[in-house]
Structure formats: C-alpha cells, structure tokens
Structure 1
Amino acid sequence: MALEIGDKLPRLTLKDQDGENYHFSRVEDKALVIFFYPKDFTPGCTKQACGFRDSYEEFQDLGAEVIGISTDNENSHKKFATKLRLPFVLLADKEKRAREAFGVKAGMLGLLPGRETFVFDRDKKLIHRFNNMGASKHIPEALNALKKAAK
C-alpha cells in the first residue's frame, strides 16, 4: 500500500553506509526528504545524488535533512558516498522493506527499482511525493514542496 499525503513516516531501521543501524526517528525537529533511487554508480543515480549534494545547503536552510535509499549494500553506499562526497546518509534496503512500506513501485516497465522522492514535514507527515525516472527533476520538486510548507 502506497503512502498518501498526510500519512506518517514509516517506523523503520535500515543500515547506513557505515553499517550502523539508522532509525528515521533519529532526525528530530527537521523535515525529511527521502529519495529512493535504483542503483549506486549508474549515470542517472549519480546525477540525482550529486543534485541533492549540490543543493544540500539549501535543504538544510529550509530545515530539512536528506536521505537516499536504494537496494545496494552498505559497502556500495560507502564507496558511492565517498566518491561523490555526499553529505547525507545513504540507507541499504536490500530486503526492500522500505520500498514496500513507502509503496515505491518499479519503474521502466518493471525492469528497474523505482525513483521516487518523499517530503515529510517536521511532524513526520507526508506533504509531497514525486515519482519520475528523470533524475534531475527530484531536487527542484522537493525544494518547492519545502518552500510551500514554510509559507
């Protein structure tokens, strides 16, 4: 079942790129931008991660933390984050529990894991979700949702 606007952030624990347990509840008093992407080191996913990296300060200024999730393992995430100098957490969803909890569907005729971004307010209620295989569209979409919520 897919998350709908107004739904609360699912309670999950996943491994981060350092192999540590990461609970979404760790991020208190901040909005959350959670983006699901297909695979580390692919051209579109690299472009998307770098887009979030390059706009990270703007997300922080809007009171939001960014988290990336894919089905890659922690070691792959560590290499990806190090190579691209990513300032945000990457979470490993090898068993696809997060994809299932958020309702992220496969893209490209079911051939690739979906690319979807979720924006939660400070109360961890979903205020925006965006599903598009176009990697660069997710950053302005998330920023606009946060700006709207701030008004």
Structure 2
Amino acid sequence: MRKLLFPLTAAVLIAAPASAALKVGTAAPDFTTTGAVGGKEFKLHLSDQLKKGPVVLYFFPKAFTSGCTAEAHAFSESIGDFKKAGAQVIGMSADNLKTLHDFSTKECRSAFPVATATPEIQKAYDVAWAAHPGITTRTSYVIGKSGKVVMVHDDLDFSEHVARTLAAVKALK
C-alpha cells in the first residue's frame, strides 16, 4: 500500500495499479480521439502520429492534480529533447475536453497535446483504474514508428516517467 500522490480524497491509501497489459513487442492499439494543444481542439489518430516517428503516449489520472501537473511540467521542460530524438509526446486522461483545453495551455505549456482517453482506449491500453472509475492509471508507453510497444512504465509516482521514456526513445536511434 502507498499513499496516493494526488488528492482525490483526504488521506486515501491505495494499492498500486496492476501492471499494464500491453507488453513490449506487442502492437499498440490504434485509436482516434479528440484533444487539445495550446487550447485548440484537434482530432488525434495514433496511426497518423506514428507516420512522423515514435510516440510517447502517457496516461495520467486527473488534470490539475499535483502529480499530474508536475508530470506535465516535466514533459514540457523536456519536449526539446524528445523532438531532437524524433519523438512526439501525447498526454492522455479521462478528463473532459474543456478541462484538457485548459490543462494544455496552463500546465502542458502548449508544448504537446493532451487527449481524451475514452473508455475504449482505457480498456485497450489497460489503464482504466478499477479502484477509481473514470480515472486512468499513470502509465507511459513508448511506441515505435512500426506501431510496436518498445517500453512500458506503470507507476503512480510521476518522477521517473519522463526520464524512462526519453531513454527509451533515444535507444531507438
């Protein structure tokens, strides 16, 4: 058991979410959803994004919570390194589009898109948090240009997600 890193309710103790179902080497499920970057709405189709290069697809539990805000800041501060390595970063949560519009500018600093993780996407990527319906686990995937998962990091502690995904992207070169 460990303490929740973002406040859903006071002093909530939870078990860590189960490991992500997608294993390294498996095909990442394709999807289309809506999102925002710099406060502007757009349609996101994973296969279109993969044509540009590897994708870091990171799921976060809830916009504007302390851990998710810190993680968004960390990704935005490192976006130049991801771009230099040829990768795109896409944040995903079950938050509604209006919330993601605000989060994309205020916390993601318009550096990368955030998109809605529909229930179908949550199921496909095994990130639906059973203990907290309507919230995703904190799980990061690196998906190679081929569409195969090359790295998975599933941990509520946001602190290693940026470093681990960036290392995995750099290892693809």
Normalised by the length of structure 1, the TM-score is 0.90
Give secondary structure in 2 for the equivalent of 1:33: strand
Cross-structure match for 2:71 = 48
Give secondary structure in 1 for the equivalent of 2:172: helix
Give secondary structure in 2 for the equivalent of 1:68: strand
CA contact (8 A) 1:50 1:86 kept: no
- Per the TM alignment, residue 113 of structure 1 is displaced from its structure 2 partner at its CA by 2.8
Cross-structure match for 2:105 = 82
CA RMSD of aligned residues (A): 1.7
Cross-structure match for 1:91 = 115
Seq. identity, %? 29
Aligned length: 147
Which of 31, 46, 52 is 2:54 aligned to? 31
How far apart in 1 are the matches of 2:98 and 2:144?
Answer: 30
User: Greater CA radius of gyration, 1 or 2?
Assistant: 2
How far apart in 1 are the matches of 2:69 and 2:24?
Answer: 28
Structure 2's unaligned 5+ residue stretches are 1-19
Cα deviation, 1:47-72, whole Å, max 9, x if unaligned, reads 00111000000000111000000000
Structure 1's unaligned 5+ residue stretches are none
CA contact (8 A) 2:34 2:116 kept: yes
Give secondary structure in 2 for the equivalent of 1:91: strand
The answer to which structure has the higher helix fraction is 1
Residue identity opposite 1:89 in structure 2 = P
